[in-house]
Amino acid sequence: MKKLLLIAGFGLFMSSSLFAQTPVMQGSILIDGGIGWPTGNIVWNTASDGEENYKINGGQFAYGGRVEYMLADDFGIAIDGNYVKTGFNYDNSDTISIYDPVSNTFSDSTYSNNYDYTAKKTRIMVRLNKHIVQNDLVDAYIGAGVGYRSVSRVSSTNDVIDAEQEEALFPVSFRLAFGARFFFTDNIGAHIELGAWGGSPIQFGLSFKF
């Protein structure tokens, strides 16, 4: 029994030594990359009556990432950016009656229009993160960011532009967030972040620590 306990204790010690990792600390560089969900396309995901060949523009995800430098063991500064494309495209058919005065008759004529709306948003922000939980495996933080927002919106009918906006009405982006990184090795992990404004409410992907 003593030998078994000794072997088990030695195995536990070796396992903890092999898998022990360096926690995030002053001077660490953290890189996060991934996707965000949901986007505005969650609203436009279903066609209405009369909308044929309906499809969304840009898919269901946003894309982004951040690079953070640890100014202190529990405080970092980051550059945070994300991009999203949303919108929809569909055909609409209608039938009208045309009067022929020669024959004094009406005939039906069917025509189709294609409608397209596309919005592209790019945000680049400076982030400050306060790290509230730090150990060998987990790095949790709360953060706030402010920066620039670029917006491009185009709506068209049959490829003829109806309206176009190439800049945001309010070109400033904000974000408040709570997130965590979970490291599998000393340098590689995954992250998830919940946030308000300045991007998708949920962001997740891979993390790298240097």
Summarize pLDDT for 91-125 with one digit per residue, the tens.
988 777 776 677 777 766 777 899 999 999 999 99
Q: Where are the domains of the chain?
A: 2-90+117-209
Q: Which fold has domain 2-90+117-209?
A: Porin (2.40.160)
How far apart, in whole angstroms, are the C-alpha atoms of residue 37 and residue 194?
Answer: 10
Residues 58/118, Cβ–Cβ less than 8 Å? yes
Residue 166's φ and ψ, nearest 5 degrees, are -105, 10
**Residue indicated by tokens 């996060």:** 32
Q: What is the percent of the chain with per-residue pLDDT over 90, rounded to a whole number?
A: 67
Query: Would you put residue 158 in left (φ > 0), alpha (ψ -120 to 50) or beta?
Result: left
Average of per-residue pLDDT across 148-176: 92
Q: What is the reported pLDDT for 99?
A: 67
